Structures are given as structure tokens and as C-alpha cells.
Amino acid sequence: MTGPATVFDKPTDYIGKSIPRSDASRLLRGQGRYVDDMQLPRMVHAVFLRSPYAHAKINSIDISQAIDLQGVVAIFTGKDIAQHVEPYVGVLSHLPGLRSPAQYPLAVDVARWQGEPVAVVICASRALGEDALEYIKVDYEQIPAVTDTLDAMSSEAPLIHKEYDSNLAWKREVEFGNLEEALAQDDVVVVEKQIKFGRHTGVTLETRATVCDYIPGDEQLIMYYAGQAPHMLQFILAKHLDMLEENVRVVAHDVGGSFGIKVHTYGDEIATAIIAKLLKRPVKFTADRLESFVTDIHARDHVVDAKIGVKKDGTIVGMGFNDFTGIGPFSMYPRTSAIECNQILNLTGAPYQFEHYHAVGNVVFQNKTLMCQYRAVGHPIAMAISDCMIEEAARVIGMDPVKIRKKNLIPDDAYPTKSVTGMRFDDLSHHACLDKLLEIMDYEGLLVDQQKERGNGIYRGIGFVSLVEVTNPSPMFYGVGGAPIASQDGATVRLDAAGALHVSSSVTEQGQGTNAILQQIAADVFGVAIERVKVTTGDTATVPYGGGTWASRGAGIGGEAMLLASHALKEQVLETAAVILQAKPENLDISSGEVISKESGEQKISLGDLAKIVYYRGNELPNDLRPELIATRHYRVTDFPFVFTNGAMAAHVEVDTNTGFIKILHFWAVEDCGRVINPQLVDDQIRGGVVQGIGGALYEECIYDTDGQMQNASMADYLVPMASEMPEITVAHVETYTKTSVLGAKGAGEAGTGGAPAAIMNAVNNALEPLNCGLWQMPMTPERVLKALGKIK
């Protein structure tokens, strides 16, 4: 990467330090600006009637009683809404063969999952609207529901879409080398397992919410939105509501967590926008928790038949698997519901060197809530397939799990290189991370303790994972396939007349601290006190164009754009200062809001004074000097499809063989996210990610009955991990800067979620080893542990 390498020549002021987030004070005072806090004049509420059945024909909808109720302004059925929208289709051209029918915001003739909206009451209050729902009479004709992924593929299964010959949405086969032949050789030990991953979801503290306002005089639709990708939504609203893109403004103020849940096209939100436009007044929709559970995208839901072949000395010969994943009745628009499976096909085994690989992915329609991209898309599955199979193989050949990794992990000096599936890697550090992990966890000590405690009937286990994480994606992720999803981001930096910086960026704040690191980078690179940097994100009317928050890209891409813009502005300012001071720009620098002499450090002119000359007394400047005092830069990853990061993690667990309970005693995570901009924020990203990984491994599951009814759609019944059950999580870093940018930052947001499940499953199976059993299904609930132990049937 060529660029202003001088950025890091000076001692760094803010980058690399745990600077407290500037928005923390406001948020802790209860001054957050969340969508549901908004009250606009003439605002009404959208209250959705949702299908109680997983699969039913809608014969008729009678609104005659409901329409006259107190507070009811209007009622729209799926058919009414369909007239005002171009339906959307969740396919991408770089996923050839993926099929999904046109989807409307509300079900039109057939409801295909429990919770799909079928009608909407527009009402003076949410409560009155819920009363009115009880008076809408829908004549449903139930159709057998297809719920189990494998059953959905049988020839007798009812078809969810009549126009298709089966319930298969997509299938991809990936083959390198010749796995079957390689595994058939005499000296190869082959291990096979079926691994099941439950369906779960990302429970955001703030539920999905939108206020849509239509201003007829401007022909403008404004959507206030609790989400991740304002520009993507701007495009989608314009396209499907047949508006000019410039007449759609999407604004995201504070957002209370997203995790990938809030980066999709939801029918209830689109319908809210349509209705605001029709009624020419603001309409609010806030999902309640019940609606969240049955309409927010779910994730995972995989049944994987996996195999691995190793030689007696631990050399991995190859691995393969056949994955079936259930995605609900449609592929989600616009990211599609095939990306998770695609990631699994691409990433399984990626940390290791081996030659033979054969993987098949089957993406299957079913009558459940739509499945799509949630934090660490595909990674927990891919890492569990390879690392749990590797540890199982190690057990079979009697080898230590660390030793087998060291033998097969790509060497740290092998870069640039490629994985077996052709993923291009650079600047990774698998061995350094594993070494650091062993150093902080005292592996030898844990092994001694394990032996000792087994004698007391206490079963402890240690499990590892070595992982890669897709971060900083290039256009090859979505844009190449025709999705309106920008992989580049922009940053604008402006010096005001008082010498303060106003910066804006197209990456967004979801509570993870993006605004804080943007502020740190701008202050550091430009040279002002951090309090004097004001950050704006989330508003399509004011920020540069870009992708928003997803795929761990805020720091690596948004941060780099901010670095480049700050540096560009600095060069401009120094050029202007040089003229004013009759000095050479290369002899000047900016520090703490002052232009200084590079050599002596002497303060020459404050930024405020400089800006005042430019803005108020331009007459003092030569006529050919026209300073902008504003700079915009955009950045995209060009050299690689993705900038991979890597890490190593370990879990120490105790399995109570009487109750089946699993207690995580300690968790360690070593992560190489390149340059760490704010250690505390990175550590908290890792910890939060690990906790969501623990959720998937031990607690979280969307439980459905055979009719497709979700059984545990409440915070009392759906078990998110809570503080009491969480272990100490120790985080450490190896910093290998990516050469693709000046900043050198890779992403860090998803590693914990991607790696923790495999480490925990490995630890549990390590604990169960002396009992001659194992558990290969997540979440690893007490009942499943008891079954694995043979204590119950």
C-alpha cells in the first residue's frame, strides 16, 4: 500500500489508546436518540396482524369491523400494499442457481411462516391498534408446514413454492484434489461425524424500529431507522417505491445493537414507508419482543455430515462435508440467505494446509422465519466443522490437540498464500496466536488438573479453535453480484472557524464504538485534541456514500477513509499555513490544535486563527490561494477480496455428568486484528462476540414444533447468556498490520462469535472422552448432554 506513511512517524497521541467513548456520557444520562423515542406531529402507529400459522392460504380478509374502531386511521392488507411496491427477489448473480420467488412486504395469497405480516392497522396508538387486530377476520386455510430441513428435501414434502420442483433454493459443490481417493489410502485414518447447529437469532437490546415521514412539498420520504446500512436502504426504498433516490433520506441516530439483524429488508419496515407516503404523515413501527423473535432474521440451522482424513503422524490429508441449511420460505433481500452456506464452503479448514477438499452445501426452503446473515456469518459452522473434526481425529490417533494444530496450521512465514479453496491470505499469524494463547492459559497446568480431578469424578475439558475471520470485504462480497451494497466508504473532514474538526463517515454506529474510533483517528492524524472532533454518521443527506456496518469493516475501511481524509486536510492546512507564515509546508506540523515548527516544536499559529483568516479575512491571502479546509476521501480494499484476520481461542469447561450442565470455567481469546485503534473497544468486541458464541454453543435456540410454531418467543424462554453464567474471558492480541492500508487495521467484530462455539464443543468432548461419549449438537443443553452420557434416552 502506498500512501501517507508519515502518519505514524510521530508519536501516536490517540490511536492505540483506550480513550473513553465521547458518546458514553450522553447515553448514560438517558439522552440517547433511539427511533422509538421519536414523536412527530400527526404521527400514527403501524400495528401488524401476523399469520398465526406457518403455512396457510389466505382466502379472505374482512376488515369491516376493525375499521370503525376507536383510533383506527386505515387498514391495509397484503394485497393493498402489493399495489404500491415492486416486489423484491433475494438472489445475487455471483451465487449462480440461487432461486427465490418475488417477495412482497406482506403475505398476499399464502402466509409462509408464523409471524409473516398479513395486514396492518394504522392507528392513533399501538395499544388501540392491537385491540383492532382482534377484529380483523382472516379466513385461513392451513397447508401442511415444512419445518425440518432434511424432511423438506424429501420427495413427499409439500412444496413451499409451486413454481419450483423442490424446496431446494441453492446448491453448490466445491472440490479440490480428490478427497475420496485420498481418504481411501491405507495409512489414512478417517473420522466421520454428523454435527448439528441449532437455529438462533441475534437478540438486539433495541428492537427493530422505524419512523417514516413523507413531506409532499419536497416529494421526500424520510426514514428514521435503527439499522446498519442507511445507503443500502435508501436505494431499496427508491427502487421498490418507485422514487428518485435523492428524494429518499435514511437517518440512523443511536442504534441499540444490530449484529447483522438490522441490515436486511423487512416487510413491516417497507410497508411502514409505503403507508407514510400514501397517508402523507409520519408512521411509526417498533417491533415488540414477540415480533422480533418471529420476524428478525434467524441464523445457523445446519445439519452437517463431515469427514476428515489424517495420517498417523497427524498430517491432515483432507476434509469434506455435506451441509443442509434451512432458510425459511424466501431468500432474504438483498444479501440473500445463501451467503452463510457459501462462507462455510469457502472457509472450512482455511487455517490449515491440506490438499483434498470436497464440500457440498444445500440451502433449503422451509416454513420458519427467514434465515440470513448474523454476526460471524458461517464462521461458527465452518470453524466447528474443521476444528471439532481435527480434535476428534487427534483423539482417534492419540495426539494432543495443540500438536496436531501446530503440524497443520499454515506457517506464519508462508504469506502471501492461499487456502485449499483458493482464499487469498496475507499477514496472518496462526502460530504466533496459538503460542500466545498457550502462554496466557497455562495449558500444561490445566492438563494436570484435569487428570487429578477425573479421579474425583469431576470432568473438565479443554478445547481449542484456530480461526480466520472475513473482514474488510471488497466489492467481491456483494457488489459483484448486483447488490446495492457499497464496499467502499467515505469520510469527510472539515475545519471550522474555531479550529475544531467536523467529521462524517458512511460507516455507522450500532453501539460498538465506531464513532469513537473515527474520532480517535481524525484527532490523531490531523493533530487536534479529541474533544474538538465532532462525528456525524448515519444520515444519507449529509455523510459520504458508503456501505455502513457489516462484515467487520468499520475500522478497517471506514477508519482508513478517515485517516486518508484527515491527512489530506492536514496537507491543505499546512500549505495554507506555509503561505501565511512564509515557511515551507514540509517544515510545519500540526499538534494539539496548533501549527508548529517541525524542528523546534514552536507554536506558529493556532488552527482557529488560521481558519479565521481563511473564512473571514481572505483578503489577507494571495488571490491564487483558495484553501478548501474540507477534504473527502474514499477507500475500498483492492488487492484482496477480503482482508482475513485470524486468532486462536480456548475454552476450559466442566461437565456435570449428573445434571448435564456445562460450566465454562475460563475462556481465552487471542486475536490478530492488525493495528488496535482502541484496546478497550477491541477487547469488548471480542468479549461480546465470545458471549454470543457461548449463546449459540450452550443456550440459544429457536425451538419450533412440527407445525412450525416457535415455542420460546420471549425473553423468559429464549435463553440468552446472562452475566451470572459468563466466565472470565481473557483477551490478548498479536498485531500483524495489513499491508492493504496505511492504518493497518483489520476487523475484530466477529471473531469471538465465530470461534467460541468450536472451542466449547471441543472442550466438552475433551471432558467426555474418558466416558467414551461425545456431543455433536449445539446448543449443548443439559438434556442433550444427559442423552450423550446415556443417562436418559
Partner 1 sequence: MKAPDFSYEKPTTISDVLALLANNELECQLLAGGQSLMPMMNFRMANPGTLVDISNVSELSGIYERKETIEIGAMVRYRELELSKIIKTHCPLISMVLPYVAHAAIRNRGTIGGSIGLSDPAAELPAVLLVLDGKIEITSEKGIRLEPANTFFKGVYETSCEPDELITKIILPKKQPKQKFGFHEIARRHGDYAMAGVCILQDVDLNVRVAFFGVADRAVRSIAVENLLSGNSYLSGELIKNAQNVLNDIEFEGDMNAGPEAKQHIAKVVLERALKEMKND
Contacting residues toward partner 1, per CB under 8 A: 126-127, 130-131, 134, 288-290, 658-661, 699, 703, 711-712, 714, 716-717, 719, 721-722, 724-725, 781-783, 786, 791-793
Query: To the nearest whole angstrom, how small is the minimum distance from the Cβ of residue 711 to partner 1?
Result: 6
* Residue placing its CB nearer to partner 1 in the complex, 185 or 714: 714
Query: To the nearest whole angstrom, how small is the minimum distance from the Cβ of residue 132 to partner 1?
Result: 11
* Residue placing its CB nearer to partner 1 in the complex, 162 or 793: 793
Q: Which amino acid type is present at position 373? A: Q
Query: To the nearest whole angstrom, how small is the minimum distance from the Cβ of residue 130 to partner 1?
Result: 5
* Residue placing its CB nearer to partner 1 in the complex, 274 or 655: 655
Q: How far apart are CA 324 and CA 156, in angstroms?
A: 17
Query: To the nearest whole angstrom, how small is the minimum distance from the Cβ of residue 80 to partner 1?
Result: 24
Q: How far apart are CA 760 and CA 388, in angstroms?
A: 10
**Bond into 334 cis (ω within 30):** yes
Within 10 Å of residue 288's Cβ, how many Cβ atoms?
Answer: 11
Q: Which of 105, 43, 118, 102 is nearest to 73 (CA)?
A: 43
* Residue placing its CB nearer to partner 1 in the complex, 31 or 658: 658
288 CA to centre of own chain: 22
* Residue placing its CB nearer to partner 1 in the complex, 193 or 787: 787
Query: To the nearest whole angstrom, how small is the minimum distance from the Cβ of residue 20 to partner 1?
Result: 28
Cell 477438499 -> residue:
357
Query: To the nearest whole angstrom, how small is the minimum distance from the Cβ of residue 724 to partner 1?
Result: 4
Q: Which of 414, 415, 549, 535 is nearest to 472 (CA)?
A: 549
Cell 479453535 -> residue:
465
Q: How far apart are CA 793 and CA 778, in angstroms?
A: 18
3-state DSSP helix/strand/coil percent for the chain, to nearest 5? 30, 25, 40
* Residue placing its CB nearer to partner 1 in the complex, 123 or 564: 123
* Residue placing its CB nearer to partner 1 in the complex, 531 or 717: 717
* Residue placing its CB nearer to partner 1 in the complex, 555 or 785: 785
Task: Report yes or no: 316 and 78 within 8 Å, Cβ to Cβ.
Answer: no
* Residue placing its CB nearer to partner 1 in the complex, 603 or 659: 659
Query: To the nearest whole angstrom, how small is the minimum distance from the Cβ of residue 287 to partner 1?
Result: 10
Q: How far apart are CA 263 and CA 233, in angstroms?
A: 9
Query: To the nearest whole angstrom, how small is the minimum distance from the Cβ of residue 65 to partner 1?
Result: 15
Q: How far apart are CA 264 and CA 248, in angstroms?
A: 17
* Residue placing its CB nearer to partner 1 in the complex, 712 or 730: 712
Query: To the nearest whole angstrom, how small is the minimum distance from the Cβ of residue 504 to partner 1?
Result: 37
Q: How far apart are CA 53 and CA 23, in angstroms?
A: 43
Helix/strand/coil (H/E/C) assignment for every residue in 120-173: EEEECCHHHHHHHHCCCEEEEEECCCCCCHHHHCCCCCCCCCCCCCCCEEEEEE
Query: To the nearest whole angstrom, how small is the minimum distance from the Cβ of residue 131 to partner 1?
Result: 6
Query: To the nearest whole angstrom, how small is the minimum distance from the Cβ of residue 314 to partner 1?
Result: 38
Query: To the nearest whole angstrom, how small is the minimum distance from the Cβ of residue 734 to partner 1?
Result: 34
Q: Can you tell me whether residue 585 is helix, strand or coil?
A: helix
Q: How far apart are CA 738 and CA 747, in angstroms?
A: 10
* Residue placing its CB nearer to partner 1 in the complex, 252 or 702: 702
Query: To the nearest whole angstrom, how small is the minimum distance from the Cβ of residue 627 to partner 1?
Result: 56
Query: To the nearest whole angstrom, how small is the minimum distance from the Cβ of residue 785 to partner 1?
Result: 10
**Bond into 351 cis (ω within 30):** no
Q: How far apart are CA 305 and CA 195, in angstroms?
A: 6
Within 10 Å of residue 444's Cβ, how many Cβ atoms?
Answer: 9
Q: How far apart are CA 284 and CA 45, in angstroms?
A: 5
* Residue placing its CB nearer to partner 1 in the complex, 473 or 721: 721
* Residue placing its CB nearer to partner 1 in the complex, 161 or 289: 289
Torsion, CA 126, CA 129, CA 130, CA 136, rounded to 10: -160
Query: To the nearest whole angstrom, how small is the minimum distance from the Cβ of residue 363 to partner 1?
Result: 27
Residues 6+ apart with CB under 8 A from 455: none
* Residue placing its CB nearer to partner 1 in the complex, 226 or 555: 226
Q: How far apart are the first and last CA of the chain?
A: 59
* Residue placing its CB nearer to partner 1 in the complex, 679 or 782: 782
* Alpha carbons within 13 A on the beta-carbon side of 466: 29
- 666: burial class by Cβ within 10 Å (0-12, 13-18, 19+)? middle
683: which 3 cell numbers?
477487547
Work out the angle at residue 29's Cα, subtended by the Cα atoms of residues 27 and 30, and round it to the nearest 5 degrees: 65
506: which 3 cell numbers?
458512511
Beta bridge partners of 321: 306, 359
Sheet holding 110-111, edge to edge: 110-111, 56-62, 137-142
